[in-house]
Amino acid sequence: MTEKDVKAKELVKILRETWLARLRPLREELSSMAKIPGDEKSGEQNIVSKGLKVWDKSLNLFTVDSVSADHFVLKDPNGEKINVTREDFDNDYQYKRG
């Protein structure tokens, strides 16, 4: 292997590591979003992510604090957090779609 080949391989390695480091925060953000079934005709899905404003049936406002596969953590205006299952979220909470 020539010195030029070694330098090229090192450069590719550095570029790959840099690219992966830049993608890591995006992957983390995307993994913290939950896809909720949307309009069946268009095939669109609604996305629930941290910071989304939602309200319950009594029109109390909440902010999504975190999202996981099976539940959501919501914060009320006073900062109190509540855990809500995906099923309860789908049945009891609304948010502006689109």
Enumerate the β-bridge partners of residue 32: none
State the SS3 of the chain. Answer: CCHHHHHHHHHHHHHHHHHHHHHHHHHHHHHCCEEEECCCCCCCEEEECCCCEEEECCCCEEEEEEECCCEEEEECCCCCEEEEEHHHHHHHEECCCC
Residue-wise pLDDT tens digits, 14-29: 998 988 888 887 766 6
Q: Quick check: pTM over 0.85?
A: no
Whether 98 shows a pLDDT value over 50: the answer reads no
Q: In this prediction, what percent of the chain has a pLDDT beyond 90?
A: 24
Domain boundaries, the chain: 1-31, 35-98
Q: Which residue did the predictor score with more confidence, 10 or 32? A: 10
